[in-house]
Homo-oligomer: A and B are copies of this chain.
Amino acid sequence: MSFIDIFSPSGHSNRVVIVGGGFGGTELALRINKIQYEVVLLDRHNYLTFQPLLYQVATGGLEPDSVAYPLRKIFGKKKKVLFRLANVQSVDAAKKVVRTDIGDICYDKLVLATGSVSNFFGQETTRQHALSLKSVTDALDIRSFILQNFEKALLERDPVIRESYLNLVVVGAGPTGVEIVGALSELRAHVLPSDYPDLDLSHMRIMLVEADSKVLGAMSATSSENAIRQLRELQVDIRLGVRLMEYNGEKAVFSTGETIQTRSLFWTAGVMGNMVPGFPASSLVRGNRLLVDACNRVAGYDDVYALGDIASMESPAGPHPMLAPVAIQQARNLADNLGKSPDADWTHFSYRDKGTMATIGRSRAVADIKKLHLKGFIAWIAWLFIHLILLVGFRNKLVVMLNWIWNYFSYDRAIRLIIRPYKNIH
Contacts and interface: CB of A to CB of B under 8 A. Distances in A.
A30 to B, nearest CB: 16
Interface stretch (A76-84, A261-269, A273-281, A340-348): A76-84
Given A63-B63, A406-B395, A419 B136 contact: yes
Interface in A68-86: 68, 70, 72-73, 76-77, 82, 84-85
Interface stretch (A154-162, A210-218, A220-228): A154-162
Contact of A403 (B84, B395, B410): B395
A194 B85 contact: no
Of the four ranges (under 10, 10 to 19, 20 to 34, 35 or more), the interface on chain A belongs to 35 or more
A282 interface: no
B419 A140 contact: yes
B198 A1 contact: yes
- The DSSP consensus for interface residues of chain A is mixed
Given A148-B85, A155-B102, A417 B68 contact: yes
Contacts of A406: 395, 398
A77 B2 CA distance: 58
Interface in A179-212: 193-200
A45 interface: yes
B63 A200 contact: no
Contacts of A417: 45-47, 64-65, 68, 70, 136
A387 to B, nearest CB: 18
A80 to B, nearest CB: 9
A200 B2 contact: yes
Interface string A85-104: 10000000000000000110
A257 to B, nearest CB: 29
Contacts of A419: 64, 136-137, 140
Task: Please indicate which of the listed interface residues A68, A156, A196, A395 has the most CB atoms of chain B within 10 Å of its own CB.
Answer: A395
A6 to B, nearest CB: 9
A222 B92 CA distance: 65
A82 B197 CA distance: 10
Q: Which of A65, A85, A195 has the most CB of B within 10 A?
A: A65
Interface in A117-161: 136-137, 140, 147-148, 151, 154-157, 159
Given A2-B200, A3-B157, A398-B406, A393 B414 contact: yes
Contacts of A197: 1, 77
Contacts of A46: 147, 151, 416-418
A258 B337 CA distance: 57
A317 interface: no
A85 B418 contact: yes
Interface of A: 1-4, 45-47, 63-66, 68, 70, 72-73, 76-77, 82, 84-85, 102-103, 136-137, 140, 147-148, 151, 154-157, 159, 162, 193-200, 393, 395-396, 398-399, 402-403, 406, 410, 412, 414-419
